[in-house]
Copies of this chain bind each other. A is one copy, B any other.
Amino acid sequence: MTLNSPKTRRPTIYDVAKQAGVSPSLVSLVLQNPARVSDKRREAVQTAISDLGYRPSRAATTLASSRTKSIGLVIDDYRNLWFVDLLRGMEAVLTDHGYQVMLADSRPGENRIREAADGLLAMHVDGLVIAAEPSASMLAGTGVPTVVAGWRDGVPAGADLITNDDDGGGGMAASHLLGLGHTRIGHLSGSGGAAAHRRAGFRGRLQESGVEPLIGGEAGGTSEEDGYNSACWLLDHHPDITAIFAANDTMALGALGAIKARGLAVPADISLIGYDNSTLAKSRYLELTSVDNRSDLVGVDVAKALLARIQDSAVGPQRKLIEPALIVRGTTARPGF
């Protein structure tokens, strides 16, 4: 067994063809559509392939066929785990159609998302998914069907848009707290488009019931630290508050820190809802009530939209919102319970 022997040129279809006693074209056919080749030759070719350890060159295939059977996925930040669900959802659909997903390496820096997309396009992906803040210039002239996932605003009319209904999710959180009887309700508002929608949906639903939410940290970020600081502000300025809705689970964790620091208990004194239904929320220790984005469903629809447009370039772009789901756990209860 030889490891890493760069000396020996890797085998090509010509080597396989010679070994199997057929023409290179036939080898290519076996690779693409084995059913169209006679049993005898097919087996001979397949034997030769494994004997030689032949692997098709993706570059050559791409160049010759101008199809890559691959979809590029640009991610904002690998630490935001929602992309894992998105990816799983996409794969559930794409694998059946022989497509492969390529993740773009989003290195830090100014134009990193643009660069990541460019890198993917240079590799001739057949479709592109932007799971990050899109800019119009980025979506212009990509040359392939492009879908924006998870970001709702600033998407030009020509691109597909499939994302989570953050307004709806915010409304669900509001309904849950109202249903439990809360009336003095705070919100830890993250930054960015999704957070704005969560806030809007939340506030809208509360106002329908005549309740005005107490908003903290509108200008801040989305980190645990931001959640901690905003929660501190809320608790100190509104000591009679009985419930808090955080724009994400991480901020909810920060809120837990602030609540604990003041000697208050969850959910006895304060009910808390997060957003994302992350592993954090599912934790047995935290038992956080949270809104689940159903990003897996987003992934499924993203893949379907892409396939439809790849297969038929006449298909127009679509926009779709996926309905989230409220997962009730141990951090919400009736006020004063």
Residues of A within 8 A of B (CB): 1-8, 10, 53, 55-60, 62-63, 68, 78-79, 81, 83-84, 87, 91, 95, 100-103, 105, 107, 118-119, 121-124, 136, 139-146, 156, 158-159, 224-225, 228, 250, 253-254, 256-257, 260, 279-280, 283-285, 309, 313, 317
The residue that A3 contacts in the complex, of B68, B91, B141, with Cβ under 8 A, is B141
Bound together, the chains give a CA A224 to CA B141 distance in angstroms of 46
A79 contacts B78, C-beta separation under 8 Å: no
**Residue of A6, A280, A284 with most chain B CB atoms under a 10 A cut-off:** A284
B55 contacts A121, C-beta separation under 8 Å: yes
A64 → chain B, closest Cβ, in Å? 9
Closest B residue by C-beta to A101? B105
The residue that A107 contacts in the complex, of B2, B56, B95, B283, with Cβ under 8 A, is B95
Other than A55-B122, A59-B68, A101-B105, give 11 A-B pairs with Cβ distance below 8 A: A3-B146, A4-B146, A6-B144, A6-B313, A53-B141, A55-B118, A57-B124, A59-B123, A100-B105, A253-B283, A253-B284
A3 contacts B159, C-beta separation under 8 Å: yes
Bound together, the chains give a CA A262 to CA B145 distance in angstroms of 56
A254 touching B56 in the complex, CB below 8 Å, given contacts A139-B3, A142-B4, A143-B10: no
Copies of this subunit: 2
A235 → chain B, closest Cβ, in Å? 14
B63 contacts A136, C-beta separation under 8 Å: no
Contacts of A55 in B (CB 8 A): 118, 121-122
The residue that A59 contacts in the complex, of B5, B58, B317, with Cβ under 8 A, is B58
A285 contacts B256, C-beta separation under 8 Å: yes
Contacts of A78 in B (CB 8 A): 78, 81, 83-84, 87
A262 → chain B, closest Cβ, in Å? 13
Bound together, the chains give a CA A87 to CA B309 distance in angstroms of 33
Contacts of A283 in B (CB 8 A): 224, 253, 257
16 pairs, A vs B, C-beta closer than 8 Å: A3-B140, A4-B309, A6-B313, A55-B122, A57-B63, A57-B122, A58-B123, A59-B63, A59-B68, A59-B123, A78-B87, A95-B107, A103-B105, A228-B284, A254-B285, A257-B284
A254 → chain B, closest Cβ, in Å? 6
B124 contacts A58, C-beta separation under 8 Å: yes
Bound together, the chains give a CA A81 to CA B81 distance in angstroms of 9
Contacts of A60 in B (CB 8 A): 59, 63
A105 contacts B91, C-beta separation under 8 Å: yes
Contacts of A224 in B (CB 8 A): 279, 283-285
A56 touching B122 in the complex, CB below 8 Å, given contacts A285-B253, A285-B254: yes
Bound together, the chains give a CA A87 to CA B79 distance in angstroms of 12
Closest B residue by C-beta to A107? B91
B100 contacts A5, C-beta separation under 8 Å: no
A138 → chain B, closest Cβ, in Å? 11
A9 → chain B, closest Cβ, in Å? 9
Contacts of A59 in B (CB 8 A): 58-60, 62-63, 68, 123-124
5 A-B pairs with least C-beta separation: A3-B158, A59-B62, A257-B285, A103-B103, A58-B122
